[in-house]
Amino acid sequence: MNAHILVVDDDTRLRVLLSKYLKDNGFKISTAGNASIASNLASYFKFDLMIVDVMMPGISGLDFTKNLRKSDNTAVLMLTAMGEINDRINGLESGADDYLVKPFEPKELLLRINNILKRIPKEKEKVVISEIKMGECSYDLKRGELYKNGERIHLSPTESMLLNIVASAPGKVFSREDLGTKTGNDNNLRTIDVQITRLRKKIENDPKTPKYLQTIRGQGYSLLPD
């Protein structure tokens, strides 16, 4: 499988450019505009590498990497305009595997990414349920990918997080509040209802009478796969 990379940067234009360049070079890409969104994504998906900016609103790239290292060994490449020697040292001491200063040559970034990925030990395959079936649809929990009749269906980041949460515990009822907290939408629970409706349109044959992504009256939502 192609490596899954998370790009974390508050610069929308750079995220778009990096995503296109890396996708063109065979990688699967997810993006986050800040460290909070990145943390939520990292809670539900296994990334092979993260490209992290240092200077971001809220939680900095340094603090994000330090927090990540408490429980996660995912490779981190810092990509930042801060190029002084002390900045580089701070980045590496925070737990980053490599440090590249902006502006940069795309080819150099690609080489650094491939070098990091080559150093990552290959994990032994674990016998775990990694895919669930829902009629004509199948969902890959590890990669956050939904397919219908073999064709990949686009999911927004929030849709992907929601589906991964409920798919990780089939039959379990998740309250709106719980889903809101887990996806970073706890201040606007109506967003959860909207995203669930959108997911049903992608999964269900009849979204108005859902068979798989069900509403449990007075409790929340539950996924009941085949």
- At 224, the pLDDT band (50, 70, 90 cuts) reads very high
Query: How far is it, in rounded angstroms, from Cα 205 to Cα 213?
Result: 11
Predicted local confidence at residue 102, as pLDDT: 87
Report if residue 17 sits inside a domain.
yes
Judge if 8 and 112 occupy the same domain: yes
Mean pLDDT rounded to a whole number for the chain: 89
Classify the C-alpha dihedral 96-99-102-105 as positive or negative.
negative
Predicted local confidence at residue 84, as pLDDT: 85
Chosen domain end from 119, 144, 162? 119
Across the range 151-174, mean pLDDT stands at 89
Report if residue 125 sits inside a domain.
no
pTM for the structure as a whole: 0.61
Judge if 144 and 196 occupy the same domain: yes
- For the domain that residue 143 is a member of, what is the CATH number? 1.10.10.10
Half-sphere exposure of 163 (CA within 13 A, CB side): 33
- Alpha-carbon distances of 123 from 30, 120, 126, rounded to whole Å: 22, 9, 8
Beta strands in 110-192 (DSSP E): 131-134, 137-140, 145-148, 151-153
User: Residue 56: pLDDT above 70?
Assistant: yes
In the chain, the amino acid numbered 41 is L
Across the range 49-54, mean pLDDT stands at 94
Predicted local confidence at residue 187, as pLDDT: 78
Domain hosting residue 40, numbered range: 4-119
Report if residue 193 sits inside a domain.
yes
Domain count, the chain: 2
Report if residue 124 sits inside a domain.
no
Judge if 87 and 21 occupy the same domain: yes
> Tell me: the pLDDT tens digits for 58-107?
999 999 999 998 888 899 999 888 878 888 888 898 899 999 998 899 99
Chosen domain end from 119, 146, 174? 119
> Tell me: the pLDDT tens digits for 10-38?
999 999 999 999 999 999 999 999 999 99
Judge if 136 and 107 occupy the same domain: no
226 and 135 Cβ atoms separated by less than 8 Å:
yes
